[in-house]
Amino acid sequence: SVLEADADLHAGARYEHVGVDVGNGWQRQKNGGLWGSDWFGRAQAAVVYILVNDWHEAIYLIRATDAKGTLLDGKHTYTMTFPKDALPPVDRARGGFWSLTMYDKDYFMLPDSPNGRTNIGTVSLDANELTFADDGSLTLVLSHAEPTDPDATANWLPAPEGQFALIIRAYVPEEPILTDTYKFPDVERR
């Protein structure tokens, strides 16, 4: 029936299992925005994202689990560490940027983020809001509770109290992202 098909579509479009693995637990739809006859993929994108651009223009990576495959939950603290000189390769000269966005289990951004952030990325870097470690790495902190360390607080993306999901958007991605040779950092529970 139509209702069963709709229920199956929504069950298959959960953040924990949409797309194909592209490393470190991140997933993406390989043909995003260039659907051809992939009606199921297009329907999943409509459920999760509303719409997606051609994957040559923007790549969307998604996850709802940590490095051990456990669902993400705001009661825990997680980190993502970009090594020195290894931020996502996007073509800044052509307007490229990246962002990591926080969503609750129902795919909504936090309505009342304690620090005003619902995402973190290029805009935060350009505003000099983030703190790099002495070795040049950048560690983002994901948790419901505000970190006590000032550097961690500077790099904090608030999470809801319960289950959450993450999406990375890379606009005007360069070849390493397009070919999945660039690996976004895993999400480690602390």
pTM of the model as a whole: 0.86
DSSP 168: E
Whose CA is closest to 14, among 118, 106, 76?
106
Can you read off the two tokens belonging to residue 69? 């495959």
- Rounded CA-CA distance 4/166 in Å is 27
Amino acid occupying residue 32: G
Closest by alpha carbon to 8, among 52, 49, 40? Answer: 40
Rg (CA), the chain: 17
Q: Tokens 């999760």 appear where?
A: 48
- What single-letter amino acid sits at 103? Y
Helix (H) or strand (E) holding 9: helix 2-12
pLDDT in tens, the chain (190 residues): 777 766 765 655 555 456 789 999 998 877 766 667 666 666 766 666 666 667 789 999 999 999 999 999 999 999 999 999 999 999 999 999 999 999 998 888 988 999 999 999 999 999 999 999 999 999 999 999 999 999 999 999 999 999 999 999 999 999 999 999 999 999 999 9
CA distance 135 to 131: 11
Phi and psi at residue 51, to the nearest 5° = -150, 160
Distance CA 46, CA 176 (A): 26
